[in-house]
Chain A
Amino acid sequence: MSELEDLMDKYAKDYDNDDIDNIINYVRKQLAMYDAGIKPKRTEVEQLDMQAIVANITRKKIIPSGTSKPSSAKMKRRI
């Protein structure tokens, strides 16, 4: 959405009516791409966010041994 934010900021600065058309066209194009199953390219900031989320998930998976009970399925296998 940062490109849209740029367009909105430009309008807030210049009050150029052409920017309204640009904003509407940009949003419609993005939504049409989404409808067609084309994922929008992530911005650098969004990529960093995703990396942080993935890192967080990875960290959560590392649980010190002995702190959680094995699942019932694992228990059955052990029995």
Chain B
Amino acid sequence: MSDLNVAELVESLQATGLDPVVVDEQFFEPPSLFLEGTKIQYIWDATSIEYYKRCPRLYYYKMICGYQSEDEDIHLRWGQEYHTALHQYEQLKASGLDHDECLWHVIKELLLRTREWKPDHKFKNKPFLVRSVIRRIDKFKEDPAELMTLKDGKPASEVSFMFELNYGPREGIKYILCGLLDKVVDYMGDIFFMDHKTSNYSLNMDWYRPHNQMSLYTIACKIVFNTNIKGGIIDHATIQVNDTKIERGMTHRTNDELDEWLEELEEWLEDAKRSAEQNYWRMNDTACDKYGGCKFRGICGKARSVRERFLKSEFKQGEIWNPLKPR
């Protein structure tokens, strides 16, 4: 296990040509992730990096065009509501309310927020959402992973982070990495970030090493909290027909793994910039069947001359994902 502190981390990052700077700011008018008048993204989060790594064409459809399927809308909203409920619980608990009072308010707010929302999905529906929130909150009524407190006295739940790299797509403009840590906790005297996940499958920790998001979050947590961090805790809810099973697992990163991730990121960002400049987004046809099958598989399987027409009829162009937008 790595015993590096942030100073050592920053030192090692500098050795590889990187110079992270913490930008502690909440944007109410989120800036565009792209350089003005271009398709060059300079503010990146784990989601957009993952899209590009998985398939530049997928990245183009999602991040540049903003295409979304109805099914994705349901998954996104369901996940956001689940996260919001757990975040509210932490805030209420920190304000001094007892467990049952907190849960009561969380469920009330959840029902009010979703009163017009009627997802038609076997698992990602409203009753399963309410059940999952209650299951998760009751399961960790006495949580051995204690929520940490930020310098400003607020609970370390939904902690935004941003930091610059020391290179960028243009002269005078540096790349920025950003994201949102669900929680930062003290578990048995060690610091971990915690990430809430939901799935129809039971937790398998092999999924998380290597893992783009977990590597970025480990780096971010080291920088933002200026302290030793042991890694991440995956707080996983398996949505089943009659139950929501809550499991946890830990994922660690050595400093060498983090350096490797950062070095490779530079290559990926350069590649994405080249794609944007040429406005050519190649397809990775080995990724089409991953993650339950790409939503755009049917589109990429059609002739180039008709793809645009099918895209417009089968998908809707919604708001482009912006991690800086307050949720």
The answer to whether A and B come from one shared complex is yes
Which chain B residues in 227-263 approach chain A with CB under 8 Å?
A: 242-243
| Set of chain B residues within 8 Å of A54, measured between Cβ atoms | none
Q: Give B138-157 interface residues, CB cut-off 8 Å to A.
A: 138
Contact A31 B130 (CB under 8 A): no
**Among B17-25, B101-109, B272-280, B297-305, the stretch in contact with A:** B101-109
A32 to chain B, nearest CB (A): 10
Contact of B104 among A24, A28, A30, A39 (CB under 8 A): A24
Report Cα–Cα, A5/B69, bound state, in Å: 26
With known contacts A12-B111, A28-B138, A4–B130 Cβ distance under 8 A: yes
Q: Are A4 and B103 in contact (CB under 8 A)?
A: no
Please tell me the size bucket of the interface on A.
Answer: 10 to 19
**What is the interface size of chain B, counting residues whose CB is below 8 A from a CB of the partner?**
17
- Cβ–Cβ < 8 Å partners of A20 in chain B: 104, 107-108, 111
Which parts of B87-121 form the interface with A (CB within 8 Å)?
103-104, 107-108, 111, 115
Within A28-75, the residues touching B (CB, 8 Å) are: 28, 30-31, 34, 39-40
- Which listed residue, A12, A17, A21, A27, touches B115 by the CB 8 Å rule? A12
Given contacts A11-B111, A24-B107, A31-B131, 20 further A-B contacts (CB under 8 A): A1-B131, A8-B126, A8-B127, A8-B130, A12-B115, A17-B108, A20-B104, A20-B107, A20-B108, A21-B104, A24-B104, A27-B131, A27-B134, A27-B135, A28-B134, A30-B131, A31-B134, A31-B138, A34-B243, A40-B242
Interface residues of A (CB under 8 A from B): 1, 4-5, 8, 11-12, 17, 20-21, 23-24, 27-28, 30-31, 34, 39-40
